[in-house]
Structure 1
Amino acid sequence: MTGIDPRNALLDATELLIALRGIEVPLRDIAAEAGQRNNSAVNYYFGSRANLIDAAVERRIAEMETERFERLAQHEADGTGHDVYALVDMLVRPIADLARTGRSTHYARFLEIVRTHPAITDAARLDAPDRTAVRIISTRLATRLDGPDAVRRIEWMRSAMFALLADQERRIEQHSGNPGTTEDIVTMLVGLLTAQRVSYQ
């Protein structure tokens, strides 16, 4: 194992095994997948399952924040910085690109499984400096929707986003069926956010 960072190996194993087997996968299995002989390696490096999941979510945040800030700047320059489609695209595309560029093949499926974990749902996390771009995008979306159910719609959109990206990632990895495009996913999510209520009499 010389030259391999055990902490990153554990995070890679966490993404993989939680994506494939669920959030309660035994920590000893994660340690084994990471090449750690010590079954308590997760507790040694992270202290708990919750901290491990938190670290796995956070690890890719910085990279995606950089991409989102670049896209925010581009949209500000061309006057579309408050456009609903552009805002949703900025949330979706950095995650989709991880699978499409081969940098990760399980992160979207991992996010789908842990979507109710505090690392995802805790509103206070949006105030952290490493999530500034996400906070700006979410605030602008809520302003554009401007209704009593705006926050709830954004929460629904987030859950749907994880599910759609996970399915796309799965299809890309398995070469099964048409994975669709990122634009397809963004369009569906915009429709969810902006759909008008229909009254059936």
Structure 2
Amino acid sequence: MSAATPAIHLVDDDADFRDALTWLFDSRGHQVQAWDSGEAFLATAREQADRWSPAVVLLDIRMEPISGLATFEVLRELSCPWPVLFLTGHGDVGMAVAAVKKGAWDFLEKPFQDNELVDRVEAALLTVQSEETQLAQRLRQALASLSAREREVLDELLQGHYNKNIADHLGITPRTVEFHRANIFEKMGVGSAVELAHHMGRFHLT
């Protein structure tokens, strides 16, 4: 797969716990990014909105000042596709079950066995990788379905040119450019030239 290797975002306000899990996943060959608060993590998540790189989230359910549940709600509002696995204490199982019903991937009660945690996370990673592979395949098929003129317009869009410039370069009317642009967006399943460029770069499409 040409897309980036999925990352594990670990969000927990306990420094020792973060260090231990970071070491655990590093030792199993996984890329980990650790965050000491929901606020810090969400700042990065917001930057990726609409151009999500593949990832899985390990989220402590009890944190201050923003709890894991509140962090999860913001991810939902952002339409974040990342699977979220909650790490809970015994008294928080009910909340974790409710979160799963709202779309969280799973939860695991502390203390847990390292192998069990790794197995759960790797199952989520497989789902992410499968979705990434399917998206890449769909985009390649859509790219192959473009007409010769649509490919010319696509190349111009990826260079950041506006409709009028594209029309001048290709010797067609701006209205015709708009027509081809709309067809390209529909076939590729994107809503903007920025999203299109992101997908093209992310999957190394040419």
Q: Which has the higher contact order (CA 8 A, sep 6+)?
A: 1
Larger radius of gyration: 2
- TM normalised by structure 1 equals 0.25
- TM normalised by structure 2 equals 0.25
Greater per-residue strand proportion: 2
